[in-house]
Every structure is written in structure tokens, then in C-alpha cells.
Amino acid sequence: MFGSRLELELGMMNDYSVVRVMAAILVAGIALVTQLWTARPAGASCAVPSTVADAIERTPVVFLGTTLHTADDGVRAQVQVKTIWKGDLPATVEIVGAVSDPRPNVWIEDARTYVTGTEMLFFAYRDDAGTLRDTACSFTQPYSADLERFAPSSAHPPPAAEAVAADDPPRHSNEWRLLAGAVAVLALSVLGLWAFRSRRTAAR
């Protein structure tokens, strides 16, 4: 009788320990998902031109445009070009606010993020593959009437092209990250439940 009671108490202790372990796993999984979803790069440390005029002189592509869509947590944007100050551009461009393409859960130093619906004066360049790029170190900024005085006499609108609807889906999406996080939490929950049931079965 004493032995049976001791076994029962040990079984209850084991069950309690498994519950605590499962709870810890769930908390760790949720914390990991939250970290992956909300992580952002540290503030950039840049050497930028001192004036708008200097930035125009040093930057190969300068244009006024409105952000239509964003993806990759704002690092990639589709922009409707309004006025070309420097360079050759179509009516709609995709710009990446980093020196390399965003990767899952990897944030690039000095990356710039964009906000849908914002009119901006973009200072950009093209890499060897022809991708239009920008960084947090550029002179890119929200457009204001004060900037109009810096527009060169050669500024012109882009070639006519079919407009892109503002509600079109972006070319790239990060919804998979939220889905992956949910799957990870679910997998950890199932693993914890399996361990819990296995310990209970062994205790009996």
C-alpha cells in the first residue's frame, strides 16, 4: 500500500514536471516567433552628403514618386514615378532599400524601409544586376515644396505606362513568416503534449 501511494505521488510529480516543461517550451516558442517577427536592424551610421544639391550631384538616379506597395517589412517597395530628376526610369519601379536582397529573418545593416502612400524624393542607384537600390544612408526623404527649388531644368515625367492599382498585391510578401511562426508554435505544443502523455503512460 505504501509502495502504491509512493508511486502515485511520484507519478503526479512527474506529470507536474512535464506540464512545467511543456509550458516553458510554449513560452520559448512564442518568444522566438515574436522576436523573428519584430526584429529590426540597429540605427544606421552613415556618411551622407551635406546638402540636397550635393546629393543630386553624387547620386546616379533621383526621382519623385509615391510608394504604391511595400514588402519584406517595408524594405522593398513598388513606386509610381512622378518626375525624373536624374537617370532613366519607367513609370513604375521596384526599389530595394538595402545593398542586398532581404532574406528570411536576416536584417541588413543600413536598410531603409518605406511606407505605402508616401510621396518621396528618392536618391537611388542600380547594382550590377540592374536592381534599383537605396539605403538609410541616402538623401531619400518625404517630399516637400521646399525641395522643388532643387529640381533640375531637365526634370521630366516618365514615359506613359499603364498605372498600377494601389490595391494590387505586392510582388513579395512576408505572410509566410507569420505562418511559419504559427507552425513552429504548434509543433512545439504537439511535442510537449506527446512528452506529457508518454510520461503519464510510463508512470502507470
Give per-residue pLDDT as tens, 5-64.
545 554 555 555 655 656 566 656 555 444 444 344 444 456 666 799 999 999 999 999
- 45 within a domain of the structure (yes/no): no
Whether residues 84 and 121 fall in one domain: yes
CA distance 121 to 43: 21
CA distance 146 to 61: 20
H-helix or E-strand containing 27?
Answer: helix 2-38
Whether residues 166 and 189 fall in one domain: no
pLDDT of residue 43: 45
Tell me how many domains the chain contains.
2
What does the pLDDT look like over 146-160, one tens digit per residue? Answer: 999 999 999 999 998
CA distance 90 to 79: 10
Neighbours of 122 (CB within 10 A): 29
CATH code (residue 97): 2.40.50.120
What is the DSSP-derived secondary structure letter of residue 68? E
- 157 within a domain of the structure (yes/no): yes
Amino acid identity, position 41 = P
- 46 within a domain of the structure (yes/no): no
Query: Which among 49, 29, 46 has a CA at the least distance from the CA of 37?
Result: 29
Whether residues 60 and 74 fall in one domain: yes
Whether residues 17 and 78 fall in one domain: no
- 19 within a domain of the structure (yes/no): yes
Whether residues 29 and 89 fall in one domain: no
- 95 within a domain of the structure (yes/no): yes
pLDDT of residue 147: 96
What does the pLDDT look like over 89-135, one tens digit per residue? Answer: 999 999 999 988 766 655 566 789 999 999 999 999 999 999 999 99
- Decide if 110 contacts 99 (C-beta within 8 A): yes
Whether residues 113 and 147 fall in one domain: yes
Cell triple for residue 24? 516553458
Domain of residue 89 covers 52-173
What is the DSSP-derived secondary structure letter of residue 170? P
